A and B are shown apart, each in its own frame.
Chain A
Amino acid sequence: MAKYANVNELSDSQLDNLLEPPALVQNAETFHDITESVCSIAEADRMPRSWYVLFTLALCFLGVLGAMIFHLFTTGVGVWGNNQPVAWGFPIVNFVFWVGIGHAGTLISAVLYLFRQGWRTGINRFSEAMTIFAVCCAGLFPAIHVGRVWVIYWVFPIPNQMDMWPNFRSPLLWDVFAVGTYFTVSLLFWYMGMVPDLATQRDRAKTKLRQFLYGIFALGWNGSNRHWHRYERAYLLLAALATPLVLSVHSVVSFDFAVAQIPGWHTTIFPPYFVAGAIFSGFAMVLTLSIPARALFNFKHIITMRHIELMCKVIMCTGMLVGYAYAMEFFMAWYSGNRYEGFTFVNRAFGPYAWAYWTMVSCNVISPQIFWFKRARRCIPLIFVISIFVNIGMWFERFVITVTSLNRDFLPSSWNYFSPTIVDVLTLAGSFGLFFTLFLLFCRWLPQVAISEVKNVMPSAHPHGNHGEVNHD
């Protein structure tokens, strides 16, 4: 099978032959082609028209976010729907949603690196950027929901006017450390990966300003092998550190719920369940972003059908893990003999929020099942739609967990129905504006693909004398 065959032309049986997977980079003859494909976007004077349309839209949503936050700060948390008994409403659902999305980037960058999966190189820069921007959106919510935002610095263990320290026993504080560490490490990892590519852009820069700006951030990188040696070591270490980090962050987020005593929240499977769900929604978001991007920026030879198909499979796998967790929770709700736990699960399916529950189940468990079929895994429009469904389903999962358990817990006299306010909804919509604004800016100015890493997995990168085939798949 020709190394550089266009995979869209291969027959099903040829594609079936998984043992000879299509080349990771299609239709590219040389390293220079990669450099050209990726750098030319940032070097172009104009972006494709759709970029401007999307950017304007994103800015509008960002404006809405700004307005809602201003309204929140000046009026108070009462503008949201949070109240007794559902004291945690949209803010925490949105927080968990965004943090979850971020996890795919780290998984692609770090975990797939440790597993020597060469296909990660086409999408890792892209998804790391997604992670950082998603974590920005995530961090926004706990910061603004505290009520007295002007004393938010009290969450940090620095001496303050009260002579008191934060409560390290609280999982909300663990969140501060976990998400803070996650943001820092992701940023470092992303930036570190970008330095060689920024050097490439610096060396190709046509204007003094571009040369200066790219040059500053490229730190003077010159491709020295002595530098690459330490760089690779540090990269491996960061990958090895980021792996347990990504597991821990969403586990800590799940602790927000699981350490409480409320039925539906207090269950031991939450940590791995949340992590699986995070990767699930994260990969869906990577698909949602990369499918239009590869078409818009002509990356189809770098983000190939193989990448798309592998991501669909990861979605299936993590979706199954989430389904497993649902099954375990459901079984234990009966097995435990705890009638509050049992009631919670019946209430989720048939109570006042049944509409949210069934949305969640159909989006999370049922819709990805279509990926059992090869045809479905290769049908781009379908994949795009399913990826959006998955994210809707995951948002609703957090909503169902938070709201149904709070809205009806131990004491029936406290039960009450929670409704979001328009401010809640607009803030959520606005957060997408923040995310997409940052992401589109990234697409405009920074190398969207890890150029040096992609070159590294091309066959011409491998020496021929030593040991023939180097396993990069």
Chain B
Amino acid sequence: MNHTAPTYSADFATAAASRLSRAGFLCGVVGLAVAIGLGLAEGDHMRHFWLSYLIAFAFVLTLGVGGLFFVLIQHITGAKWSVTVRRQAEFAIGTIPFLAFLALPLLVPLFSHEGVEEFGGLLWSWVHPHGDHAALITSKVPFLNVNFFVGRFVGYFLIWSLMARYFKNASIEQDKTGEHELTVRMRTRSALCLIVLALTYSFAAFDLLMSTDPAWFSTIFGVYLFGASFLAIHCFLVLSTLYYQRQGHLKKMVTIEHYHDLGKLMLAFTIFWAYIAFSQYMLYWYGNIPEETAWYLIRITSPWTNWSWIEPIGHFFIPFLGILSRHIKRKPPLLGFWAFYILVVHYIDLYWLVAPNLYPDTVPFNGVEVFALIGVVGLFLWKYGQQAKKHSLLAHRDPLISDCLAFQNY
């Protein structure tokens, strides 16, 4: 196949990455500071701030773990199209240990005694079961208790960090040695890792987001978050590639064909997300069982009604029509616009999953959310950029790279 395989050189984007990580750090610190300030000013034991922080954290978690899914799936399918963008996803997964640190502040609302009488817990009301559903929630105590909760998160991050480190380091080592064995090994190991990742991520979804309404449950919730994360990582890769290309990197390595493929997957997972979201909604709507519909009832009644309409229209119809055409998928700046748009509605979706549970009667969205998001995403980009300073932006000695550049879309 490759009798005279062309070789490619590494692409170190030190300057561009430094710029990114510096900007990220700045936004991170300032954003969080302002958010904390605004949160304190609200005088609600920082509950609003913690909600904003939770969602912002969930947002970057979907990028980090979404990246992990991306890397694993590219390996297990032996995909060739993604080789030249995969390193960026590997940088994304490289932030996972840092995300564990970003998770630490959430211990504050978890262990806090504030708001316990009123809500049962600042974010997770099962910390101190009270009210109408007290008996039901108490029955879940073997799972929903603070120690096991923290223990589970320690477990999740440990497992994810180990996986992330392995796949990132193996890929980076291939830059030096070019060994085919590394690819083969990554392929074989990705299988078991995917199984473990699927299970741990589902439970992380239950813990982090679903248990903010401990009386509610949905078996598809893990798949929902997977769909949203996988969509988000593709959008992120489009934007990241656009950034680096604008700074003069990856010019011939990531072509219109790759953008087209990313676009196709963005379309596919927009549809997939909508399919999962609709399944969940329609089944609960149809069965009309109060313990299941209560969650949706808050969301479709005022004041959350308009926000809920954003989901089918803004998260499905608009991007679906937007990226349907192959002409748009083959114009990187346009695709970048849609990638950004989808990340915005992705945030809105994550917010919608949790906020109505904590604030059924008001939509608390204001500057606290915006600055918390800027803050956390800034810190994420900081860590993300730092890695690009040290390693090549291109997996230039990946054995599949020639095939990656050779394919053409129909």
- On A, residues with C-beta under 8 Å from B are 16-20, 114-116, 232-233, 236, 244, 247-248, 251, 255, 258-261, 266-272, 316, 320, 324-325, 327-329, 332, 334-338, 467-471, 473
Contacts and interface: CB of A to CB of B under 8 A. Distances in A.
B406 A272 contact: no
B139 A16 contact: no
Given A266-B289, A272-B276, A469-B1, A335 B217 contact: yes
B319 to A, nearest CB: 15
Given A19-B180, A269-B220, A335-B206, 9 more contacts: A20-B1, A268-B221, A269-B223, A327-B199, A335-B140, A337-B136, A469-B402, A470-B408, A471-B407
A251 B202 contact: no
Given A260-B287, A469-B403, A473-B403, A328 B184 contact: no
A72 B155 CA distance: 58
A139 to B, nearest CB: 24
Contacts of A271: 220, 275-276, 279
B140 A261 contact: no
Interface centre among B2, B275, B289 (most CB of A within 10 A): B275
B7 to A, nearest CB: 15
Contacts of A338: 291
Interface string B172-196: 0000000010011001000100010
Nearest to B78: A18
Contacts of A473: 78, 80, 403
A247 B222 CA distance: 18
By DSSP majority rule, is chain B's interface helix, strand, loop, or mixed? helix
Contacts of B271: 244
Interface in B216-236: 217-223
Contacts of B14: none
A261 B264 CA distance: 37
Contact of A471 (B2, B220, B283, B403): B403
Contacts of B317: none
B284 interface: yes
A251 B139 CA distance: 33
B36 to A, nearest CB: 34
A19 B111 CA distance: 51
Interface in B231-289: 264, 271, 275-276, 279-280, 282-284, 286-289
Contacts of B289: 261, 266
Nearest to B203: A331
Contact of A268 (B191, B219, B403, B407): B219
B184 A467 contact: no
B198 interface: yes
Interface centre among B220, B289, B291 (most CB of A within 10 A): B220
B408 A232 contact: no
Contacts of A266: 283, 287, 289
Contact of A17 (B139, B143, B184, B400): B184
B101 interface: no
26 contacts: A16-B184, A19-B399, A232-B410, A247-B275, A248-B275, A258-B283, A259-B282, A261-B289, A266-B287, A268-B220, A269-B223, A270-B279, A272-B220, A324-B199, A324-B202, A328-B219, A328-B220, A335-B217, A336-B217, A337-B136, A337-B215, A338-B291, A467-B406, A469-B402, A469-B403, A471-B80
Contacts of B198: 324
B278 to A, nearest CB: 9
A211 B10 CA distance: 60
A266 B407 CA distance: 45
Contacts of B81: 471
Nearest to A320: B195
A232 B408 CA distance: 15
A272 B289 CA distance: 22
Contact of A259 (B217, B283, B407): B283
A387 B410 CA distance: 35
A236 B410 contact: yes
